[in-house]
């Protein structure tokens, strides 16, 4: 399946996934790895979904205001057209891409490219998000990062949506989302279901 469009180059490629909740440092870690690759004089390109314009229309920007120039794209397949001749390809906010992203990443890796993907692994209801689960299954390296639960100080693994709006896709910052540990996420999820019934 993933080898169909590949032209195996003989060079070793692989996939790295950085995942976790909102405010856990995913983009920060992605930027750090890409900047190190640039220091090593590797050819680097980073892509982000066109829908993500929270901080900047083109740059990938972390919550700590670190940034790196990127190329916004409408779909995962566009990445294939633009990622030729690079040693390292970064992809931010991967959960917003279509299901083709995992195939695209595998084709790039099969062609000898190091692919670094960052994204939410769960949505605001705690369900697996977009193409991330398939990427986790095929990646060579997985880094799960955590935020801190503001209620108890434990590690936060969940992204709780604080406003009532249905639909998986809703861009927002600390005014819309908060990171929570399992215990407090389940409590707030239960309370919001009670309000709705």
Question: What pLDDT sits at residue 156?
Answer: 97
Token pair of 15, please? 């996939």
pLDDT tens, position by position, 33-79:
999 999 999 999 999 998 765 455 555 544 455 667 789 999 999 99
Phi-psi bin for 93: left (phi > 0), alpha (psi -120 to 50), beta?
A: left
Distance (Å, rounded) from C-alpha 31 to C-alpha 58?
14
Tell me: pLDDT of 89 over 60: yes
pLDDT at 179 over 60: yes
Active-site residues: which are they?
93
Specify whether the CB–CB gap between 70 and 78 falls below 8 A.
no
Judged by DSSP in three states, 128 sits in strand
Separation of alpha carbons 24 and 2, rounded Å: 30
CATH architecture of 14-146: 3-Layer(aba) Sandwich (3.40)
Looking at residue 75, the DSSP 8-state letter turns out to be S
Report domain extents, the chain. 14-146
Query: Bridge partners of 47?
Result: 71, 91
The tens digit of pLDDT for each residue in 132-153 reads 999 999 999 999 999 999 999 9
Nearest partner of 47 among 97, 7, 8, judged by Cα: 97
């Amino acid at each position: 399946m993933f080898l169909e469009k590949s032209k195996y180059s003989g060079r070793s490629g692989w996939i790295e996934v950085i995942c976790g909740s909102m405010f856990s440092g995913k983009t920060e870690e992605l930027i750090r790895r890409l900047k190190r690759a640039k220091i090593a004089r590797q050819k680097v390109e980073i892509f982000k979904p066109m829908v993500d314009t929270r901080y900047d229309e083109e740059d990938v920007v972390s919550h700590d205001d670190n940034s790196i120039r990127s190329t916004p794209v409408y779909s995962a397949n566009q990445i294939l057209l633009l990622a030729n001749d690079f040693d390292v390809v970064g992809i931010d906010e991967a959960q917003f891409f279509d299901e083709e992203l995992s195939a695209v990443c595998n084709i790039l890796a099969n062609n000898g490219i190091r692919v670094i993907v960052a994204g939410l692994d769960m949505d605001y209801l705690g369900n697996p998000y977009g193409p991330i689960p398939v990427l986790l299954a095929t990646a060579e390296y997985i880094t799960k990062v955590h935020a801190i639960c503001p209620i108890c100080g434990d590690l936060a693994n969940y992204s709780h949506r604080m406003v009532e709006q249905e639909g998986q896709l809703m861009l927002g910052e600390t005014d819309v989302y908060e990171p929570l540990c399992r215990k407090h996420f389940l409590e707030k999820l239960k309370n919001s279901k009670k309000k709705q019934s």
